[in-house]
Amino acid sequence: ARGPAALLAADPGAAERAGWTARLGWATVLGALALASATGLMAVSGWLISRASEQPPLLYLMMAVTATRAFGIGRAVFRYCERLLSHDAVLRILADLRVAVYRRLERLAPAGLRRVRRGDLLARVVGDVDAQQDHYLRWLLPATAAGIASALAVAFTLWLLPAAGIALAVGLLAAGVAVPAMTALVARRTEQRLAPARGRLATRTVDVLTGTAELSVAGALPGRLAATADADRELTALAARSAAGNALTSGLITWITGLTVTAAAWLGVAAVHDGALTGVWLATVVLLPLAAFEAVAALPQAVRHRQRSARAADRLREVLQAPEPVVEPAEPAEPPAGPLPLRLTGLTVTHPGADRPALRGVELELTQGRRVAVVGASGAGKTTLALTLLRLLDPAAGRYTLAGTDATTLDGDDVRRMVGLCAQDAHVFDSTLRENLRLAATDADDDRLWAALDRARLGDWARALPEGLDTPVGEEGGRLSGGQRQRLALARALLADFPVLVLDEPAEHLDAPTADALTADLLAATEGRTTVLITHRLTGLETVDEVLVLDAGLLVQRGRYAELATVPGPFRRLLRAAEGDLAPAPPAAARVPADA
């Protein structure tokens, strides 16, 4: 099974899925009845017209007249009920599938989604989930109903005129089996490429929309627009190829329908001539195939929808079956009253799918009010350490304990209530200052909000705004400067009042003076709070209790700033590199000697 039900197979809710199955079963029966009513309407109408031409007594026609009305009304009623039941069931399935996908993404983010681009992920969550409705509405239900209605039409024609029944059976098999099989063979490659092509176009479009300013400044916007246009042309070409295939199959079915009707007419005339068939039934023999082919006309397109939904299901399965970076305990332990002391002992961490650890043998202890800075070059493992402290990654070896309790035995949300994060890319929502702050404390009054802004050195600026706390910040904080966005994120983190606060590259993407000022304010705002400052900037670290130096996942040096700055080693090399980049020099007491 490759449909939505297969994607949800591992989730609870068997009783509810049984309800879907019942609805879909009844929808299939109603769809078959609607097609059978259309066929019966054509057959009875043909007989009625032929018999009425003989001008019999009116009572002789009453049963046929009643049947015509019944089939006409039944066709509409059965189709309406089929659509109502099938769409109700499928929309319920899609709702549960979306919830399952979102829940899985919540389990995977952010460590488990490092290799998935935002645009492609958006295409999967929206487009690929929506494509699953076609598995039922445009493939499974139409194919099953067409099979039932076609069997009834062939059975009736065989009873009426066996030769015409055989001709109809051959025509329906050709149009309902051979042509769809040929369509599946020809269109397989195209349909398999459509969903990834949509993902590439979505990715490039999102990249251009979110990075227009930076791309314009760098002069790279024309190139990115050209790449987006290439992705659009690729998708358009695939869609055109798919449309051409649809046109070809439609023409083939029309041709097969015409041949079948012609054969039925020829066999019917011969049967009337030989006395094997009453003349009034000739119109039924000729007209019934026209209605019967209505059931199979959509099957080639249904096969395309099957392939498309199957490919979309495969892409969703890649997300739903991705390895979890964190395994939640079946029965979480009771969380401690506080996280301190927080200890890492021989910590080794490997990202999902990676072939080597990102951290190896790291040791760390945090007590009340202790502030530690973690420095190192890009790729040294600093962010991996932050993700592990937040239990967004689990250790591959070693231990991580909070007040003596193994963090892997706790629910991840319990850990994140004690260890909070202020990230370099903290999201700012398209709302007001007040609402962005209240994400951390929904019941906070204005006094608490202003206090948090003051501690983040943003209060004076906010008070000078005409709308104060009700000032809109724009999409992703577009109305704020880079420093203001980071200070707002810090104020939100301080408002949450986490016992342990992790600051991950808070001064990233800022110019040197702004970054230095922000770092100094961060350290001032977190004085007295247990803090882990992850940064590649070395300015202002004199005030922290300890500096840890990471290199390729290893803890290669640790100590106070003044000690490390005077000892040959990795930290002093980082200082030399910072001075080479014209970063502010350390104080005279800690300045790097010329022979370092």
How would residue 588 be classed by pLDDT, with cut points 50, 70 and 90? Answer: very low
Contact 368, 421 (CB under 8 A): no
Least trusted range by pLDDT, from 318-332, 534-548, 582-596? 582-596
How would residue 10 be classed by pLDDT, with cut points 50, 70 and 90? Answer: very low
Bigger pLDDT: 415 vs 193 = 415
Between CA 324 and CA 349 the distance in angstroms is: 13
- DSSP SS3 for 111: helix
Paired tokens of 503: 């600051």
Q: Is the pLDDT of residue 159 over 50?
A: yes
Task: Report pLDDT digits (tens) over 219-254.
Answer: 888 888 888 898 888 888 888 887 777 788 888 899
How would residue 587 be classed by pLDDT, with cut points 50, 70 and 90? Answer: very low
List domains and CATH numbers for the chain: 9-320 (1.20.1560.10), 342-427+498-590 (3.40.50.300)
Mean pLDDT score of the chain: 83
How would residue 15 be classed by pLDDT, with cut points 50, 70 and 90? Answer: very low
pLDDT at 30: 94
How would residue 514 be classed by pLDDT, with cut points 50, 70 and 90? Answer: low
CA distances (Å), origin 238, targets 120, 192, 288:
18, 10, 37
DSSP secondary structure code for residue 432 in this structure: B
Task: Report pLDDT digits (tens) over 91-108.
Answer: 888 888 888 888 888 777
Between CA 347 and CA 345 the distance in angstroms is: 5
pTM comes to 0.66
What is the CB neighbour count within 10 angstroms for residue 78? Answer: 20
Between CA 458 and CA 477 the distance in angstroms is: 14
* Strand intervals (E) in 118-237: none
